[in-house]
Amino acid sequence: MLDAAGQHCRSCRTRDPDTTPPPACEACGRPGQWIKGLCKTCYQRSAHTVAARAAGWARRLADVPPWWDDYASHLAAHRNPVYAGDLIARTARLIQHAATHTPTRLLAHVHTHAPDLAHALADFFTTHGHLPPPPEDAIEHQRAHARRARRIHAVPAPLRPAAQAFADHLLLQREHARQHGLHPKQLRTIEVRLATVRDLAAHLHAHGIAAWESVSTTDLEAFLARNPAPRAARLAGLRQFFAHAHHSGLVLHDPTAPLSAPQHRGFRGPTLTLEHQRALYQRWTRHPDTHPHEAFIGLAALLHAATTTELRHLTDDAVDPEGRTVHFPGRPHPTPLDSATFTALQRCLDRRAETATANPHLLTTRRATTTRAPAGPAHVRDSLAPAGLLPRILRSTRLLTLAHQLDVELLTASLGMSYSGVTPYLNPAHPADPH
């Protein structure tokens, strides 16, 4: 409490003016120490606070987990001390609430009562051998599930049950295709289909239509006319949705039957001119201040037609420094690298070594360095933002060139692509510049 007259606290009022001021902080050098040779700000940011908080909570827990000290050390090494101390406290409260500290049971409990702790606990348990590592695509499926849930939740309530049933139908189709050895739908394709249903439902609800049985061909034509560019893709999604609705008895007829979307079967996306490709190559090879991730992503996509998924899931085991090859995930054979791409790859390895992370993936973000999961797709896209490009434009430019220089069978075998995936590049609407 401050003194009413002098506006000083009791400590300042009783301090002897002749006493020597406290020494400076050992960390930042500012005058005044708070505890253990540090000022208050530096002490709160030191790793000691994590150990102190873990020890305090250990005295309050009825049964201290055998992994508790390792957990505190792991958080102190990989997290900001302020955030790590908060995770220690929340984990202790979770153990008290769940009345267990077994890793499997604790993770089963955390998804229901503290989902924001699941990432930190799962990473610690798998890194220190308390649990087997999750499947390679487990995190991808979790993220895809969250994206599907957001799209379904955005559908107006009267139309939402049909959208949920359609999503379950698409996932069931994907699982059946996987069991029978067929090519299953990509999770991204399912998300695109649900986004189309979401947009249609919002359009119908805004025009007073609250039941799928009332949808007519005129309503669908008005919806497609709002944005003519993706008409073919949206119509394909609507055909699947209303076919499922008709099969399940939700609608009596398919309103998409009279609609059509004629389109050119060749590739119609944007590509780069030869002059633009040369400028990018010089940017990524002659400018040492360019970020290593930007240079490697750009060169790998422009020269080797690497996809975002292949770049994200690239690990140390796939790199052969002696042979100067890299085995992109999904490709049947290793890909030889030119000197420029291999130099950019080495720069990425050196940068990751500076972070001392245990993440085996080549491209790691600040958050990914604390886990073993790959970086998100947004990191690949944002890495090329300084160059003003998207990764798919670089890849498409390279595929157009390879499709006209190589045999189709050789191209599909080397890149691991299907014949239907290569066919559009054989007769593009706008051919790339000849090389």
What is the average pLDDT value for the chain, to the nearest integer?
84
In a domain, 258, yes or no: no
| Mean pLDDT across 101-126 | 78
pLDDT for 396 equals: 92
CB 109 within 8 Å of CB 94: yes
Residue 358 has pLDDT above 90, yes or no: no
* Residue predicted with more confidence, 311 or 116: 311
Q: What local confidence, expressed as pLDDT, does residue 171 receive?
A: 93
Residue whose tokens read 């609407």: 429
368 and 229 within one domain: no
Q: HSE (CB half, 13 Å, CA atoms) of 157?
A: 0
Domain end point (choices 77, 104, 127): 127
Where on the phi/psi map is residue 99: left (φ > 0), alpha (ψ -120 to 50), or beta?
A: left
Residue 255, domain member (yes or no): no
Q: Where is the domain boundary, 97, 127, 157?
A: 127
Is 25 within 8 Å of 33 (Cβ atoms)?
A: yes
Q: Tell me: the pLDDT tens digits for 287-345?
A: 888 999 999 999 999 999 999 999 999 998 899 999 999 999 888 889 999 999 999 99
Mean pLDDT for the stretch of residues 399-416: 84
Return the higher-pLDDT residue of 122 and 279: 279
d(CA 433, CA 55): 66
> Are the C-beta atoms of 236 and 224 separated by less than 8 Å?
no
pLDDT higher than threshold 90 for residue 164: yes
Q: Are residues 279 and 395 in the same domain?
A: yes
For the residues 229-246, what does the mean pLDDT come to?
A: 92
Whether residue 394 is contained in a domain is answered as yes
Say if residue 239 is in the same domain as residue 143.
Answer: yes
The pLDDT confidence band at residue 435, using thresholds 50, 70 and 90, is: very low
Would you say residue 77 has pLDDT above 70? yes
pLDDT of 151 above 70: yes
Say yes or no: 400 and 303 in one domain: yes
421 plus 278 within the same structural domain = yes
Averaged pLDDT for residues 389-407: 89
pLDDT at 214 over 80: yes
372 falls within a domain = yes
For 328-362, b where at least 16 C-beta lie within 10 A, e where not — what string?
bbebeeebebeebbbbbbebbeeebeeeebebebb
Residues 6+ apart with CB under 8 A from 424: 265, 266, 267
Instruction: Look at residue 36 in the predicted model and tell me its pLDDT.
Output: 63
Please write the tens of the pLDDT for every residue from 14-47: 555 555 556 777 667 777 665 667 676 777 677 7
Indicate whether 242 belongs to any domain: yes
pLDDT at 434 (0 to 100): 41
Query: Residue 254: inside a domain, yes or no?
Result: no
On whether residue 290 sits in a domain, the answer given is: yes
Written as one string, the DSSP assignment of 220-262 is HHHHHHT--TTHHHHHHHHHHHHHHHHHTTS-SS-TTTT----
CB 57 within 8 A of CB 63: no
Domain span including residue 120: 48-127
Same domain, 35 and 66: no
CB 88 within 8 A of CB 79: no
Structure tokens at 181: 């050895």
Q: Kindly state whether residues 93 and 152 are assigned to the same domain.
A: no
127, 162, 196 — which closes off a domain?
127
Structural domains counted in the chain: 4
pTM of the model as a whole: 0.61
Q: Which pLDDT tens digit goes with each residue over 255-284?
A: 999 998 877 677 878 889 999 999 999 999
CB-based contact 312:377 (threshold 8 Å): yes
Q: For position 1, what pLDDT does the model report? A: 47
Taking alpha carbons only, the member of 153, 133, 248, 252 closest to residue 195 is 153
334 and 408 share one domain:
yes
Is 269 part of any domain?
A: no
With a CB cutoff of 8 Å and minimum separation 6, the contacts of 299 are 281, 284, 285, 340, 341, 344
The percent of residues above 90 in pLDDT, for the chain, comes to: 40
| Same domain (yes/no): 11, 145 | no
* Together in a domain, 392 and 279: yes
The average pLDDT across 40-66 equals 83
Q: Is 140 a residue whose pLDDT tops 90?
A: no
Contact 193, 240 (CB under 8 A): yes
Residue 335 bridge partners (DSSP): 326
One domain, residues 279 and 419: yes
Order of strands across the sheet that contains 335-336 = 319-320, 325-326, 335-336
Q: What is the pLDDT of residue 159?
A: 95
Residues in the chain: 435
Domain co-membership, 278 together with 344: yes
